[in-house]
Structure formats: C-alpha cells, structure tokens
A = this chain, B = another copy of it.
Amino acid sequence: MYQLNTNYDKLPGSYLFAAIAKKIAAYQKEHPAADVIRLGIGDVTRPLAPAVVAAMHRAVDEMADAATFRGYGPEQGYDFLRDAIIRGEYTSRGVEIDRDEIFVSDGSKCDVANIQELFSPECSFAIGDPVYPVYLDSNVMAGRTGELLADGRFARVTYLPATEENRFSPALPAEPVDLIYLCSPNNPTGTALTRQELAVWIEYARKTGAVILYDSAYSAYIAEPDCPGSIYELPGAKEVAIEFKSFSKTAGFTGVRCAFTVVPKALAGGKLNAMWNRRQCTKFNGVNYVVQRAAEAVYGEAGRQEIRRTIGYYMENARIIREGLSSAGFTVYGGVNAPYLWWSLTKNVKSFDFFDRLLNVCQVVGTPGSGFGPHGEGFFRLTAFGNREQTSEAVERIKRNAGQLLG
C-alpha cells in the first residue's frame, strides 16, 4: 500500500492567495452590487505592449505554416531569447553572463519552488519574514522543516525578520544556514536592498559556504541608483548566487508565463549549472515558442519604451497610494523601488481582521501581512497594479473612512 508525502500535512490548508480569492468570492456573492477594487494579489492589469502583441501575432502565423512551424524547443529556451536577455539584462548592466547560464522557464514561481530540489534534504535555509510564501512552502513539501509551531513559524527554519526597526533589511542570521532566499525588491515590503546591504550578504555567503537564491522578479521597478538591478553587479556574486527574474511584472506577462533563472558556472564549480540543466531537461519541456518571441520583443527598442511607460503608470499608482494614505495619517512603506505598498496598521488590529474590515468598509481588497510570515502581522500589502481610476477611487475610500479603519 502506497504512503503519501506527509510533509504536505504540515502546511496550512490552502495557498495564501487561493484562500483570499475564496474570501472575495464569498463577499461578492453576498454583495452582488458591491464595486470591489482589488489591490490584493500582485497581478497586472495593463494590456500587453503593442510590440509584444505584434511579435505574438507573427509567431502564431509561423506556427500556422509547415515551413516555419516549431515543435519542441530547447528546454533551456531559444538562443534568440537567451541572447536578448543577456543583452537587455546583463550586458547593459556591465555584467557578463554566458548563454548556457540562462534558463528560460514558464515562471519564477516554478523556478524558485523547484530550485531546492538540487540541494540535499538536510540543507538548512533562511527566508525573510515576511516574504513571498513559495520559498517556505516548497521547502515544507520537500521535508526541510519541522512542524508548524503555535507562533506561526515552522521548526527548523531560520527566519530573518524585516521590520520597521531595520528598515525591512534583515540582519545576517545568528546561526549558519546553507540556503538563503533573498527577495529584492521585496514582496511584500516593497523595499529594495542597496548595493551595500547586498554586499554584506555576498560576503557572508562566501565566508560561510551558503548559496543565495536571489529573487529579483521586480527589478524593473527599481528607481534609486544605489539599488542594483542584478545581484551579479556585485563582485563575487557569481560564486554564491542564483538569480531569478521574470517577465510577469516587467512586461505584464502574468497570464503569458515567462521567466528565467541564471545559474552561473562559477557556482559550485559548475555543478549546480549542470544539475539545473539536467533537472530542466528531465522535468520540463521548454516554453511556448510564441511566448519566447513575445519575451524577445520586450527587449526591442519599441518594446522597451512601451514597457517603461507601463511601469511608469504603475509607479504613479504607487505614488498616489503612498501619498494618499500618508495624508490620511497612515504609515506606509515601499512604492518607490517596487509596486508594493506596505501599510503599517494600528497595533491592536490583526491583519486578517483588517482584510475583512477594509473589504466591508471600503470594498477594497488587499493582502494581510501575516500571510507572508509572522513579522508581517500588523501590516497590510496593497499593490500598484490596479488601473488608475480604481486605484484613486480606492485611496479616496480609504481616506474617507480613515477613522473607521483606524478604530
């Protein structure tokens, strides 16, 4: 008789965003006339860039003709896209990356969840607190943690608190760890590590023999020059870091599905690069051809300009939220180098209760901070990915009801 993977039993019932989607659906069923504004899940709303759309139509036409039809592509991605990524993301930042260090995939979520397979089940790991839940959940499933404790933490996990006190830039762990998940610009706090802060992590990893798993899915939103757009801008990073980047937020590809992971050959003497290649060749079958042409167009001249405009649109939303909430007496972080606003709630309200309150009072959806980790309690994430009118309307509702929300 087969046995199941009992590590799944350690996880709370459902994935954070799935649980929230259910709550919203229930509210809308009860209040069918309510004009609910969703600033919860980090999902884009602007259409694809015209250059991307044109590239997709062209590629679909290629798939309609036997002479230009494409079947299986390389598991690692087509050379045309890997080369465009090198030029657009790395050469432009003065970083040298080889083609065979780039692995195109259908999403950073998959890659950051799968990367732990390359390491021993015995490896210890550190995650930010709060942070995107996939790092933790994928390791729970793989058996690298103990049970969920009463304080909301899992045993055998090193949490790195990101708090108002440390300006959401976690300190080095007290105990040694093997794998370090860093997310910058950070989801959910909306803050980005500076060059100086990142250098401390690289030095630490080099000294202690740790690997940094660097999730940089939001790097296109960085505005301040002292926050690097790639960890490889820093010397010594290639020997200790794997970098994840995505087209989801860069180019509105959340429904298109394309991302890439860089596994430098300088890491573990090339071993991790070879292992990830083997993993992708065995358990993955490459990304849709049309999608890869779409991603290539992101780096074309027209694509780059169009995408800049869309990012500007979202960051103007971020400014509206930040300034609106501040003017209403709230404390809010982020929104400068990231499309996320991290709203500090009054001390006596739980973030999941605030979710209900905000939905009921303002018909605005956000994400409870505690969903991202115990140190997210007392915070609430809003995203700048809505459309302008709804974002402004949401801010007005919040301002109008500030007293009731603060209560």
A interface residues, Cβ below 8 angstroms from B: 1-6, 8, 11, 14-15, 18, 41, 43-48, 50, 53, 56-57, 60-61, 63-66, 69-73, 75, 106-107, 109-110, 113-114, 117-123, 133-134, 137-138, 141, 143, 178-179, 208-211, 252, 254-257, 268, 271-272, 275, 278-279, 281-291, 387
Contact = CB atoms under 8 A, between A and B. Distances in A.
Given A57-B57, A110-B283, A255-B63, A14 B47 contact: no
Copies in the complex: 2
6 contacts: A2-B119, A11-B278, A53-B64, A72-B255, A107-B284, A134-B283
Contact of A43 (B15, B72, B255): B72
Contacts of A268: 4
Given A109-B285, A257-B285, A257-B288, A279 B53 contact: no
B123 A3 contact: yes
A275 B71 contact: no
A6 B43 CA distance: 38
Contacts of A75: 18
A4 B141 contact: no
Given A15-B278, A18-B281, 8 more contacts: A1-B208, A2-B178, A3-B123, A4-B268, A8-B279, A69-B252, A69-B255, A113-B284
The A contact surface, by secondary structure, is: loop
Contact of A257 (B14, B106, B208): B106
Contact of A47 (B65, B110, B252, B271): B65
Contact of A72 (B6, B254, B283): B254
A60 B47 CA distance: 10
A209 B3 CA distance: 10
Contact of A5 (B107, B119, B141): B119
A284 B110 contact: yes
B46 A66 contact: yes
A297 B67 CA distance: 23
B284 A109 contact: yes
A275 B8 contact: yes
Contacts of A278: 8, 11, 14-15
Given A15-B278, A138-B283, A255 B73 contact: yes
Given A3-B123, A288-B256, A71 B47 contact: no
Contacts of A119: 2-5
A113 B63 CA distance: 27
A138 B109 CA distance: 20
A64 B47 contact: yes
B66 A2 contact: no
B255 A288 contact: yes
Contacts of A64: 47-48, 50, 53
Contact of A275 (B4, B46, B290): B4
A179 B46 CA distance: 45
A285 B14 contact: no
Contacts of A66: 45-47, 387
Contacts of A143: 121
